[in-house]
Amino acid sequence: MSTIEEPVKRGHCPRCRGPIPMSKGIFASDFRCERCGVRLFVSGPYVRIIGVLSVLVGWLLVWTLGIRGFFFVCLFALLAPFPVIFVMVRVAPHVLRPVFVFLKPGTLTTLRLGNGPGRELF
Ligand SMILES: [Zn+2]
């Protein structure tokens, strides 16, 4: 018997290994696995890629719509990513299933040494 666990597949629960139905609800802060009830988060790199792609597509939309002038470019460049991310969170999980993690991704890592949220799950 091997002690090495198989890696968790994309779109599956890291605890029970069951498939997770894709919806925009997977991005909610209180999302839980339907089978085992563990609180899950979409991995940080996946969320960051969706954010960056939304900004780039939003800026591309501003550019292709022919919006020119410093004021309008700044205004629409700030506003355009929001409708794009509205669509991205609904479409992206069906195109590329995310990896789920137990801990909320953040900008800082505590190497799981802290007593923060999610620690009680282990
Ligand atoms: Zn589960």
Work out the pLDDT band at 12, boundaries 50, 70, 90.
very high
Domain count, the chain: 1
Distance between Cα 48 and ligand 1 center (Å): 24
Q: How far apart are CA 72 and CA 96, in angstroms?
A: 34
Q: How far apart are CA 109 and CA 14, in angstroms?
A: 20
**Enclosing domain of residue 92:** 24-99
Specify if 11 maps to a domain: no
Specify if 64 maps to a domain: yes
Distance between Cα 47 and ligand 1 center (Å): 20
pTM: 0.74
20-73: pLDDT as tens digits? 999 889 999 899 999 999 999 999 899 999 999 999 998 888 888 888 788 887
Specify if 12 maps to a domain: no
Distance between Cα 85 and ligand 1 center (Å): 27
Specify if 3 maps to a domain: no
Specify if 112 maps to a domain: no
DSSP string of 71-83, one letter each residue: HHHHHHHHHTHHH
Work out the pLDDT band at 122, boundaries 50, 70, 90.
very low
Handedness of CA 13, 27, 29, 44 (dihedral sign): positive
Specify if 84 maps to a domain: yes
82-97: pLDDT as tens digits? 999 999 999 999 999 9
Q: What is the pLDDT of residue 52?
A: 92
Whether the per-residue pLDDT at 119 is higher than 60: the answer is: no
Distance between Cα 58 and ligand 1 center (Å): 35
Specify if 35 maps to a domain: yes
